[in-house]
Structure 1
Amino acid sequence: KTNCTIISNFIFLGFTHYSKVEIIIFVLWLLMFLITLLGNIILISVSILDSHLHTPMYFFLSNLSFLDIWYTSSALTPMVANFVAGENSISFSGCAAQMYFSLAMGSTECVLLSMMAYDQYVAICNLLRYPIIMNRRVCAHIAAGSWVTGCLTALVETMSVLQLSLCSNNIINHFTCEILAVLKLVCVGTSMVEFLMLVISILLLPMPVLLICISYAFILSNILRISSVDGHSKAFSTCADHLTVVVLFYGTALSVYLKPSAVDSQEIDKFMALLYMVLTPMLNPIIYSLRNKEVKTAVKRLLVRNPLCA
């Protein structure tokens, strides 16, 4: 028997251990949040409004930007509201919603990044057949499959944790309702839930990474056969952008979700979560597109076409 109770709200510890720099961390969060919103909204708008960017690559990038907005908002919006109100609490239903959306967006991004690697592989290694292989129907199915996979796995994980009995302690040692932090409040055995999370984590982290590695092995082999220096440069530039995001996102997520359960590094996990929840969504539009010549040209065309900018 365990001393369990009904919990109506949770309290975040956040970064209260670092009270001297807490205001600095908050200002940085807010600044990164605004940059994330602005960069991703610009990318989505340009991809929709400019017909030259109606390609599979920018279709997937628009999906990535849309989920990054939701991903960052689910974690940072309640935190900003709490900081302004002078509180550090969240309701049980709010915590459940925050956990679900964070897991859903993160899981969807895992699948989508691997599908984008496949798109790069087809674009470079099967250039002549690219329009046939990556037609609109295929792209729509890939995007829909990524979203459905992410949302369903998040639902399974969220329901499996929230149906467990929670102890009277309602203090979450995190800045968001991160599933591993909430799992520490459970006062019954969690071996089955941990096993389920391990299976899902393996499917969503190492498996996509393996697919990405295979795709880029073929890409690298094909690039080395290109005789043109410009062709080498363009291909390497495109691949380097994607690999930068992949290493940053998957590297931090793997270190948090697939580390041994005996390793307790909650403080490190919070800073790791900042990388894949905040920093990666902020860098995605910058790395992928806003420094891309095609996007810059598209933005200029839209500004010239807009009479308000004349």
Structure 2
Amino acid sequence: MENYNQTSTDFFLLGLLPPSKIGLFFFSLIILMFLMALLGNLSMVLLIMLDTQLHIPMYVFLSQLSLIDLNYVSTIVPKMAFNYLLGNKSISFIGCGVQSFFFLTLGGAEGLLLTCMAYDRYVAICFPLHYPTRMSKRVCVLMIAGSWTMGSINSCAHTAYALHIPYCRSRTINHFFCDIPAMLTLACMDTWVYERTVFASTTLFLLFPFITIVCSYGRVLLAVLRMRSTAGRKKAYWTCSTHLTVVTLFYAPFVYTYLRPRSLRSPTEDMVLAVFYTILTPVLNPVIYSLRNKEVMGALRRVIQRIYSVKM
């Protein structure tokens, strides 16, 4: 382990990748995924904003998911890339707190928002006649606002705690971003009470939503099997199965990482799992939610035609 000046208030992130050819290869791959995530999510936000036919709950939720993912990767990857390229592993005390705050806010908001999206699809497929009343514009706005608000409140509590506990050991964080559980290993006080709080937050924002989503999609798939239209049944089945796959890639590594007791956690394993919910899912979400989606493709054609006609 490298030796750093322990009198500094800065933290030091060991990072995910070694300074070798294989490390450079994976670094290039991560940067490619980062650019794909930026392009895909920004495109979805702009497309849904510009096309009025997509101003319905399903796509409003999707625009918020893309906005969260856009900020999510921007919170983690640029600093990681900067540290890797320059060999400067330090991050200021305040910078670490800011990164933790946005990471937890966006992660909590996404966990709740994905639940809202699953509920939207559940009502649309299982109770189509009640959909206009159950998923009104007001309900949609309240769900989105609630996801952001609860994510922010949870993040404030955890970040405030992390910034106020004493760190009297090495300030070297064995991670590629300021993950609070990784920071707690550096504290010189007993944090077992706070670790119970992490367990409770993970259960509330990740485990319960994941169970709810799996159950709702199970109900949806049963309803799909009763559909008379073969084409409609195939489309609905493909949509549910692909959405559930991406949701699992987000929740499962997150839950597994944060619900394990400290004695069973491995820094290397935690970092590898973190790649799934910080980098991989932001790349996959815009692809999965737009691929083979005729409404999104139609909106894209309309926007392109509109831009082309203005230039002409």
What is the rounded CA distance, in whole Å, between the counterparts of 1:265 and 1:168 in structure 2? 19
Q: Is the 8 A contact 1:245 1:280 kept in 2?
A: yes
Counterpart residue number, 2:158: 157
Q: Deviations over 1:66-118 (max 9, x none)?
A: 01111111111212233344311110000000011111111111111111110
Counterpart residue number, 1:111: 112
Normalising by structure 2, we get a TM-score of: 0.93
Note the residue ranges of structure 1 that are not aligned, 5 or more in a row: none
Q: Is the 8 A contact 1:161 1:193 kept in 2?
A: no
What is the rounded CA distance, in whole Å, between the counterparts of 1:224 and 1:84 in structure 2? 52
Counterpart residue number, 1:30: 31
What is the rounded CA distance, in whole Å, between the counterparts of 1:13 and 1:64 in structure 2? 30
Q: How many residues align?
A: 306
Runs ≥4 residues deviating over 6 A? none
What is the rounded CA distance, in whole Å, between the counterparts of 2:305 and 2:275 in structure 1? 38
Q: Is the 8 A contact 1:40 1:66 kept in 2?
A: yes
Return 285-294 or 192-201, whichever deviates more. 285-294
What is the rounded CA distance, in whole Å, between the counterparts of 2:198 and 2:261 in structure 1? 13
Cα separation, partners in 2 of 1:16 and 1:246, compared to 1, 3 Å? closer
Letter aligned with residue 226 of structure 1: M
Counterpart residue number, 1:66: 67
Note the residue ranges of structure 2 that are not aligned, 5 or more in a row: 1-5
Return 271-280 or 152-161, whichever deviates more. 152-161
What is the rounded CA distance, in whole Å, between the counterparts of 1:291 and 1:37 in structure 2? 20
What's the % identity of the aligned pairs?
Answer: 42
Q: Is the 8 A contact 2:65 2:113 kept in 1?
A: yes
Letter aligned with residue 102 of structure 2: F
Cα separation, partners in 2 of 1:204 and 1:305, compared to 1, 3 Å? same
Counterpart residue number, 1:288: 289
Counterpart residue number, 1:304: 305
Normalising by structure 1, we get a TM-score of: 0.94
Q: Is the 8 A contact 1:115 1:142 kept in 2?
A: yes
Deviation at 1:210, TM superposition (A): 2.0
Q: Deviations over 1:276-304 (max 9, x none)?
A: 10000011000111442221121111111
Counterpart residue number, 2:254: 253
Deviation at 1:19, TM superposition (A): 3.3
Counterpart residue number, 2:3: none
Q: Is the 8 A contact 1:12 1:171 kept in 2?
A: yes
Q: Is the 8 A contact 1:6 1:166 kept in 2?
A: no
Q: Is the 8 A contact 1:10 1:90 kept in 2?
A: yes
- 1:247 partner SS: helix
Q: Is the 8 A contact 1:172 1:182 kept in 2?
A: yes
Cα RMSD of the aligned pairs, angstroms, is 1.7
What is the rounded CA distance, in whole Å, between the counterparts of 1:95 and 1:18 in structure 2? 23
